[in-house]
Homo-oligomer: A and B are copies of this chain.
Amino acid sequence: MTCGNFCDLTDFNHCRLIRLTKTGRRSLSHSISHSSTDSNSSGGSDAENPEDEVSPRDMQQINSKGNMDFCIKNIKLADFGRREIELAEDEMTALMALRKAAQGEKPLAAAKIVGCTHVTAQTAVLFETLKVLGAQCRWAACNIYSTQDEVAAALAEQDFPVFAWKGESEDDFWWCIDRCVNVEGWEPNMILDDGGDMTHWIYKKYPHLFKKVKGIVEESITGIHRLHQLSKAGKLCVPAINVNDSVTKQKFDNLYCCRESILDSLKKTTDIMFGGKQVAICGYGEVGKGCSAALKAMGSVVYVTEIDPICALQACMDGFRLAKLGDVVRHVDMVITCTGNKNVVVREHMDLMKNGCVVCNMGRSNTEIDVNSLQTPELVWQHVRAQVDHIIWPDGKRIVLLAEGRVLNLSSSTVPIYVLSITATTQALALIELFNAPEGRYKQDVYLLPKKLDEYVASLHLQTFDAHLTELTDEQAKYMGLSKYGPFKPSYYR
């Protein structure tokens, strides 16, 4: 088997620039820096502040220790960035606990990691943890807009080789990645990727490096999809761990987070009152369960649509009326899609909606609402405010379309730092696992995080809640046929 050409497999250039990940967005919107109008959240429609300055590539900077192995916007922002990192450390207690627990052991000693993720205070806590655990790292941004320049400066000041700034050009983007990989005397042996661009670049330019690489840790759905395609094509030449689909992360991303962000997103975009409103929620998977529970709790009357009878029965037992969208769409005040499917809300439905009906998408894809079908001459689009359009029918009826049908909570809500902490901790453990795994444990395939480590991530995060786990006695462990230290459930358990 040869390590194939990654870039043949996916049209990544198109998706990269508009790809939105939660990590990047969040840190911007609530940063102390105030610098952050969240430029990438609206899909590029808002104009950037023109920054007419010299490109960082053309301006060699030097830190207070005389080191120049980095490329960032402005080293003078370092103090400010350090404060932000310290604040993030305060909140990422689980990751800091891991750092503390493992710093003696140095499980990443000899690891040489190239990273390509958002460059924010939270990810800085991750990378500095990797360093404390023994790793050498080089780091580029996975998104041209999302870098917190002050954070990059703080890292550079500490001699961390970071290549990232807010407002990179596409050429800059690849240049930065290349600077992480292509360095005299440096042979990376681990890849930490978010979107697959670093992996792609190495496949394309330096495939020989894969001889030394012990594994890839990938966070994003897009990146995992690309790895699976490589794997199917027989071209994946190292093991990879998919950190996106760990149980802990999934439950938080889909159920717990959406339970909060559906409310948040709706309030940030409309001034609707939830009490007494009738809502149709399409899909009763984890996202649909979270949204339904939240709106029910706020006093809405929720109808659920489903295709899967088992999920449908769960909706019934949870007290929701199960209906077809066409049967309730005339009288509901909101329609929320959570299916992962396409064309769930179509023009025919929207023609039937009552005046003022709010339509939005909390699902995975941007195709759940057939927004294209609204691009017809007889309908008037009125852009009301960020993320909100009124679509006006000839008879004056208007529906309120949020985020143009794109995933709503990516655009209009913030991701709690708690969820970022789960992701970062999972990434760190996945790197440790792959780097230290005995020969043969992992083949050239895409793996989930082992259940036991997934449980460990959860246990680190329990501490925030002043929560106390019970330990099995020896007798109980034997009775249950379990190790006292887990895993406690089969790997498929959700």
Contact = CB atoms under 8 A, between A and B. Distances in A.
B492 A462 contact: no
Interface in A244-284: 247-248, 251-252, 255-257, 259-260, 263-264, 267-268, 270-278
A255 B320 CA distance: 16
Contact of A275 (B306, B319, B325, B462): B319
Nearest to A264: B267
Given A299-B319, A307-B471, A340-B480, A312 B260 contact: no
Given A271-B416, A322-B468, A462-B316, A454 B310 contact: yes
A249 to B, nearest CB: 11
Interface residues of A, number: 103
A348 to B, nearest CB: 12
A316 B276 contact: yes
B263 A415 contact: no
A47 interface: no
Given A267-B414, A273-B256, A418-B273, A251 B314 contact: yes
A1 interface: no
A68 to B, nearest CB: 33
* Stoichiometry (number of copies): 4
Interface string A467-485: 1111111011001100000
Given A299-B256, A467-B316, A309 B273 contact: no
A55 interface: no
A403 B355 CA distance: 36
B301 A320 contact: yes
B307 A319 contact: no
B356 A90 contact: yes
A323 B468 CA distance: 5
Interface string A312-329: 111111111111110100
22 contacts: A30-B270, A32-B385, A34-B385, A251-B310, A251-B314, A256-B275, A260-B273, A271-B415, A278-B465, A296-B319, A297-B298, A301-B319, A301-B321, A305-B470, A307-B470, A309-B459, A310-B455, A312-B459, A313-B462, A316-B467, A324-B469, A493-B494
Given A260-B263, A310-B488, 16 more contacts: A30-B271, A32-B384, A247-B310, A259-B275, A276-B317, A278-B466, A297-B297, A298-B319, A299-B317, A301-B319, A307-B472, A309-B455, A310-B458, A312-B458, A313-B467, A343-B475
The 5 closest A-B pairs by CB, nearest first: A297-B297, A273-B416, A322-B467, A309-B459, A309-B458
